Structures are given as structure tokens and as C-alpha cells.
Structure 1
Amino acid sequence: MTVYNIALIGFGGVNRALAELVAKRNTLWERELGFCLNIVAVSDLRLGSVVSPDGLDPRMLLQANFAPGGFGRLSGGRSQADNEMIIKSAPPDIIVEATFTNPKDGEPAVTHCRWALKARKHVVTANKGVVAFAAHELNTLAKAGGLSFEYEGAVMSGTPVMRMAEKTLIGTRVMGFEGILNGTSNFVLGRMEHGMDLSSAIKEAQALGYAEADPTADIEGHDVRLKVAILANELLGASLKPKDVACEGISRLSSQDINTAINESSRWKLVGSAIRGKDGVVVGTVAPRRLSLQHPLAAVGGVTNAVSLDTELLGSVTIAGPGAGRTETAYALLSDIVAIHADRSKATAAA
């Protein structure tokens, strides 16, 4: 039975949820997946950092009500985050990068992943910024070192759109895609259909925890822009940077626009899309679109995400599921570790 030592970089909602899964399901994973996870280090901007080569009790990490700098009270702990030391140190086999998403350049998460791969650690992340800005570089580093850089959760959280397209739909050739890739904006548009104005719908989304205090990234399409760049590069073989994706959000839509669409058997959705032209050039866009009720994305409501893939052999294939959520995203990280384990098992069998 294989034990993977993991280091959690960032201990917010997603990595806390992964720690919860480790606490509850490690024994099950041993039996069903052939491995278990041992948390040997955690680093967090608020809490500090802690390292234990023998492993940290995930229940202790979750149940202790740590004050800022609280990891400094633990054996092997410091009151300040020391990401570089933890990432480059010997104990971890896998670095789980779950710090905040920087939509401008992906830092500091890009540097975290670079450090890890150069130190011969596998990396799993759900950080959109890392993947949108540096996937090519980091995949090249990983391949050169015989390592894995996995990021299934970067687009649709626990819904495996990239792995499904690349593994299950292999041979169909994806020509383009269009999707609802931001649950917050989709929720807001749905509430506007029920009579709310934009401002009130955003406030409700914030009260429910769907929107941040500053909802700009969701409402103006910046979050979707990152995801379009990721999907275009992964599924269409493009080399797009986020700045290459034309972007317009939903802030210009009025209640009258929403009502007119309803009266004409259609509805507004914020759609991220990319298509490969006959010349081979891939063009990505984010914009509000008025969809007929027969469109496969028109019925996608609430905070659900969905992507319709345009394939040569099957036509349109639509994948829908949770696009956010701490447990859902933690599952995506687990699925990435499963992929690492499968690759290692194949390599061992072939040796």
C-alpha cells in the first residue's frame, strides 16, 4: 500500500476540505484506491507553517481554533508562513497548492509550483491563475523531471471536464466549446429573471456566499476569461493568454433586457467560448449571449456550470455539474492524486 506525503500550501476552504476528507476517508482510500495521504506540512499566510515528517493529525488541524500565527505553538511550527522552505523540503511527495487566485499574473502560486517541480515534487492545484498563465511552462518542467502537474479543478471544480474530454472523448477531436463557467453570474441572471435588479441580485449572492465582497471578477467576466484560456489551451491546443480572450461581463444588462428575452422565449447567459477556425487559429471570447430555450445551456440554472463541446464525431456533448464548492474542489484535488497514482503504477509495472 502506497503512502503519499503531502504538503498543503494555503489552508483556506479548499485545503481544509481536503484535510477533512483525509480524516474521514483515508482508510477507505487504502482499500479502494491503493493509497492513503499523510499530511506532513501546512503553510498558510494567516496561521504560519508547520512541518512534521511523521505526519500531522488532520483532526487536530481542523478542530483547533488557531489564532493568527497559531501554527507557531505546534512542534515544528512557525508563526510565519514559510512556503519556500516547506515546498523545497524533503518530506512532501506532492504539493497541494491552494492559495488565492491572482487574475493578473498567477503569482505567487506560479512560483510555488515552479519551486515544487524543480525540487522534484508532484503538484496538484485548482488555482486558475497558475494554469491560465503558466501551464505550458509548468507542464514542460514536470515532463522533464518525470513528474505530474495536475489541475482538473481549475475550470469546473469537481466536474471533470478536462479529463473527460481528453480521456473519455479521445479521438472525437474537439473543434470548440461554449460554457457557463461562473456560478455567481449565472445565479445573478437567474434572480434578475425573477424581478430583481442587478444590484439586489448581487447582494443576495453575497449574502448566500456565492459572491465575494468585491464581485467584479464574476460580474465582469474576468473569472470566465481565465477558464476560457485554460480550456482553449487544453482542449484545442491553443496558446492563449487571458489577455487574448475578448471579455465583456453582465453589468450592462438591464431588467428590460432580461424581460424582453423572457417574452421572446430566450434568456441571457454569460457564455465563455472558443473555436478553432478553418485556418487553425483559436479565438476565445466571454460575453453575455441571448440563448433560445432550446439551447443546451439555456436550462442551466443557479450556480451550476456546464460546457458544450463541439466534436467532429459526436456533435455537441454537454457536461454539467458543480462549478464551485470547497468539498467539490477538494475532490478535484483527490482526483488529480488518483491520476498521479495511476501513472506511477503504470511506470512501476512497465519497469
Structure 2
Amino acid sequence: MLILDRYLTREIAKPLVIFCGGLLLLFANFTAIRYMSRVADGLMPFHSVLPLVMVRAAVALEILLPVALHLSVVVTLGRLYTDSEMTALFSSGVSPSRIIRIVFVGSLVIAGLVAYLSIYVRPWANENRYRLEREAAADVDLNEMQPGHFYENSSGTVLFFQRRDQRTGRMQQVFIQSRSEDLIRLVWAEEAHYPERVESGGARTLVCSEAVSYEISRNRAAVREATSDELVLEWEKAQVLSEEYRRKAAPTWQLAGSTSPKDIAEFQWRLSTPVAALLMGLLGFPLGHARARQGKYAKLFVSVVSYATFYNLNMMVKTWVEKGMVGTVPGIWWVHLLLGILVAGLLWRRTRNP
């Protein structure tokens, strides 16, 4: 029987490595394209792309491993059914419960790895991700922004300029729009430049020459116009860690003692990912059942739809918990409870009718 355990484990592990590697490569490629577009626009130095892609991939592994495991179990068992190997195993006295136990043990190992990634690697990677993004924003020479592009900072201020002086490097024919609770501010300047580089997290100022500014009041429907030979604007405030950043980068033990619904939702998410990995691995057993003429990839589409449905529902419920629409008890766990009931029912049916 140990030979059977090793055989099935090896057969499941092969597509697991392929699926996980392929999904990770696709994710890294998509992430790199997004960052490279920022490099092309002059918003990020090139040397920051690889470290950012790596930490983003580390966070994505907690999602990619369960789906890769689920697809691997479905494809492996589908091949065994279509090649009549499962029929031979059942005929020789191997029960479906034995196959389920092998899948369970393998899924438990992956769930343990996902638990480590979710509880420890996720906050570490998010902390480094935001640090790298702040450093990248500070390292980039803001005087290298390209003309003809709209740039928006974290405060919602929009900057556009038509060309750049080749001799001085200053932006020319500059348009700036900023908003506050009551005012919309529009600035048109003949030239603008950043006076100096700033430290990571520091404030940035933009010096505008021959500027005309308009302040439009939303409540009073009034417009105030002003002209200035030199106008200094605050383009980027000194960066302060946002609530989302603290939550995603916070240690798991810190979230465990919080009473905030957003912290609790993040805490439950970290604990639920290994449970999801285990359940999705077990769900692969009933979905992997295929008749001889169906082909080993017959249930692959159903598997993808099943995981996508579960993942999207899980994300939706997590948002509900964050907004207080769903109580922290049961929180996001009721989605996993429903999946557990579904898996238990399908496994019981498959053991009764192998």
C-alpha cells in the first residue's frame, strides 16, 4: 500500500509543480508589465521592478497553491479514470476511502505550507512591498516625467504638461487640478519644476512660473482668480502609513487582539486560506471522476469555475465583514462551512458509488 501512496502522491505532485509554476509565471509577468508601464512613464526606476514583483509573487502564492492543488487532483484522477487505472485499483480491493486518504494527506501538507505563507510571509511581503514602493517613488527623478501624460498623486492631484524644455529640463504649459471638500483648484503655468530631490516619505513641492490659478467653490458657486510670477504648490504630502497598509502588513498576533472589523476580516482571511486549500484539494476527488471516453481534462472547466466561484464569494464576504454588513461571527467562515458540507456530501456519495 505504501507503493500506492507514493505513486498517487507523485502523480499529483507533477501537475502541481507545473500548474503552480505556470500560474506564478503568469502573475509575475502581469505584475511586471504594470510596473514597467510606470517605469516608461517616469514614475518608477527600473531597478525597483524585480524586488516588487518578487514580494507580490510571495503574497500571491497563498492563492495560487490551493488552485494549483485543486487542478492537479482533478487532472491526475481524471487521467487515472480514463486510463482505467482507478477501475483496476477498485477491482483489486482498494477502496475509494483509501484514495481519499492519500489526497487528504497531500492536501494537508499543502495547507500547512499555505498557512505559513498566509500567517508569516503575507505580512512580511506586504511590509516590504509598501516600503519598496515608497523608496521607488522617492528614487525616481520627478523631473523625468514624460510630456503628454496625466499624472495623479496619492492625494488625487492631477498634473499634465505639453512639452519639456531641452536646455533646462523644465515642464512647459502645465495644467494642475486639485480638489478638497469645498474647492476645486485649477492652475495653468508656463513652466514648472521640482526644486530638489526629496527623502523617502518626505513632502514634494512644485514651483510654477507665470501661473494663473482658479479656485471654484462648490457650495457658493463662486470663482476666484489669481496670478503669480512664482507659485509653490504641494504636490505630494509627507507619506503616512494608511490603515490598509497597517492592516495588511501587521503581524498576525497583532490582528488577533484587535476589535476592528477590518482587522478581524484580515485575521480571518489569513486563518482561512489553509482551510480553503485543504477543502479544495478534497473537492478534486469527486470532480476528478471521469468516464472512459470523457478525457482526463473533462472536468477541468468545472474545476476552474468552482474555484473562481468560491474565491470571489470569499472576497465578497471579506468585504462585507470589513464594512460591518456581516458580523465578525461567523465572519467569512460560513463560506468555508458551506464548502465543507458540499465536499463532505460529494465524498460520501463517491465512496458509496465508486
TM-score, structure 2 normalization? 0.22
- Structure number with the higher helix fraction is 2
TM-score, structure 1 normalization? 0.22
Higher RCO (C-alpha under 8 Å, 6+ residues apart): 2
- Structure number with the higher strand fraction is 1
